[in-house]
Amino acid sequence: MPNTLETHPEILPQKQTSTARRGPKILFVTPEISYVSNSMCNDAQRVRAKAGGLADVAALLVDGLKKRHRDLHLALPNYRQLFRTENGGTLTESKRVHLAEDCHFYRRHGVYQTSRHDLLRSALAFQREVIHRIIPKVKPDIIHCNDWMTGLIPAAAKRLGIPTLFTIHNIHTERPTLAELENNGVFGADFWEELYFENYPENYDESYWTNPIDLLASGIRAADHVNVVSPTFLDEIRYGHHENIPGRISHLLWEKHAVGAASGIVNSPDPSFNPQKDSLLTERYKSKTHHEAKAVNKLALQHTLGLDENPDVPMLFWPSRLDPIQKGPQLLAEILPQLIQDYHDIGLQIAIIADGPWEQGLHDIVNAHGLHRRVAVHGFSEPLSRQGFGGADYVLMPSSFEPCGLPQMIGARYGTLPIVHHTGGLKDTVQHLNIEENTGNGFAFEHFDAGGLRWAIDEALRFHLSDESIRIKQVTRIMEEAARNFSPVEVVKQYEDLYTGLVPSFMGEARA
């Protein structure tokens, strides 16, 4: 049984009556969240604003903390179009859910738009609301910020004496000037000395027009503690392993880590990713029944995607954005026709259920080689993606870098073994399978190139062609270990420990 809040209610602390016993008042600040629970606000089912993994992890933490009766407040932009009620009404602010108001959020149909101007404008409007309205209203004991869109908040909070935790989910940043801050209503003069400027700031006026402020670096610099979503990604940044991560970020994290103010916490998939309970699967299953149930799910998926309908063929599943900077779809594109040809006799199939810049490129390859019955390229959809985890045999994640990554853990839970580049969070969560020693949970390659990916896929298919009883035994073990090891409860507890460590007056009260 997975160790989730749902299946182990006994780990929840008893409801406390005195607010002092509920630990510090936490303000959780995020620009996206996949869902919030009913206990946070009326109309909770309307609050869905997801662009990527940050939304899933934010939802998991907010839900887990609330279930453990923590004194929790949430700040997020009021995306009116996304939050609209059935009769066209708008969501209203509640006691615990604070909506940042700005016309910029009102008319859009997605969480982010892609131009730099739009991203920055949103981030500044959001932070203006949090800094100047929501923090004074909530009066939190601690603020938990997430990614560059919240990077000014630790500096502002420092001036108010409120400790902050800054979580790095990804390395994107923007670099506005003080003038841009003020033009968007953020009064930087209050806390500019805590920010990270590209050039040493002599004084406010000198820096005002031309000295860019790095928002990610500012969050790291001013926060009392910084956590990265896996220990390996933290080390990779500190040691400068990734060319696309600027030296200033490595340097800042190196300094924070040296004084015990930086750590790594691996995310967990949401408890709803449980093959025993997932209502979006054609057939739900336990570790012991995965073999038969996955065949049923595979047939249903093949039918939907227009692939040859045969439950005995191996199927690879691509779950994440087709983004060549991070996720490595170009590696798959490079080997695709040859791979399908080499495994023609066993009928290898690939289900790509994802959006992103490489979508058209993959369609072109499928069309040029007539691979339609073997390779499906379908835009992202949550139900289809869940069916991918439930029906495919292997999950592909050849990321060039990966702060944490969730699909490899979801895959292991569903008995869909991950094939990954050994980097960042993928290194912390996937070990190469060793049948003799009964260890490992997937297939990992070390060199980020098409040859590396091909090697790992060959390894997976060698396993696939091994004795069926061996395969079933290994997949069963992997599913059971994943349910135990990738535990939402443990992740929530690690964050609680950080919060109480930052607010010493609550020490000793965090763990129930």
Which residues would be at the binding site for ligand GLC (CB under 6 A)?
Answer: 52-54, 57, 169-170, 229, 267, 402-406, 425
- The nearer residue to ligand GLC, 40 or 54, going by C-beta atoms, is 54
Query: Which residues neighbour 139 within 8 Å (Cβ) at sequence distance 6 or greater?
Result: 25
Q: Nearest approach, Cβ of 426 to ligand GLC (angstroms)? A: 9
- The nearer residue to ligand GLC, 366 or 412, going by C-beta atoms, is 412
Q: Nearest approach, Cβ of 122 to ligand GLC (angstroms)? A: 17
| Distance of alpha carbon 386 from alpha carbon 282, whole angstroms | 10
- The nearer residue to ligand GLC, 297 or 487, going by C-beta atoms, is 487
Residue sitting closest to ligand GLC (CB): 53
Q: Nearest approach, Cβ of 282 to ligand GLC (angstroms)? A: 27
- The nearer residue to ligand GLC, 154 or 424, going by C-beta atoms, is 424
Output the CA torsion sign for 320, 56, 416, 379. negative
Q: 409: closest CA among 503, 506, 502, 319?
A: 319
Type of residue at 99: L
Q: Rounded to a whole number, what is the distance in angstroms from the first to the last CA of the chain?
A: 22
Match 């609680």 to its residue by tokens: 496
Q: Nearest approach, Cβ of 206 to ligand GLC (angstroms)? A: 36
- The nearer residue to ligand GLC, 23 or 319, going by C-beta atoms, is 319
> What would the DSSP string read from start to end of 382-437?
HHHHHHHHHH-SEEEE--S--SS-SHHHHHHHTT-EEEEES-HHHHHH--B-BTTT
Match 């592909």 to its residue by tokens: 396
- The nearer residue to ligand GLC, 229 or 371, going by C-beta atoms, is 229
Q: Nearest approach, Cβ of 163 to ligand GLC (angstroms)? A: 22
DSSP helix/strand/coil, 447: coil
| Distance of alpha carbon 449 from alpha carbon 451, whole angstroms | 5
Q: Nearest approach, Cβ of 504 to ligand GLC (angstroms)? A: 27
Q: Nearest approach, Cβ of 236 to ligand GLC (angstroms)? A: 12
- The nearer residue to ligand GLC, 41 or 410, going by C-beta atoms, is 410
C-alpha angle with apex 487: 481 to 493, nearest 5 degrees? 145
- The nearer residue to ligand GLC, 398 or 405, going by C-beta atoms, is 405
Question: Burial letters for 469-499: b for 16+ Cβ neighbours within 10 Å, e otherwise?
Answer: eebeebbbebbbbbbebbbbbbbbbebbebb
Burial tier of 14 (Cβ tally within 10 Å: 0-12, 13-18, 19+): exposed
Q: Nearest approach, Cβ of 286 to ligand GLC (angstroms)? A: 26
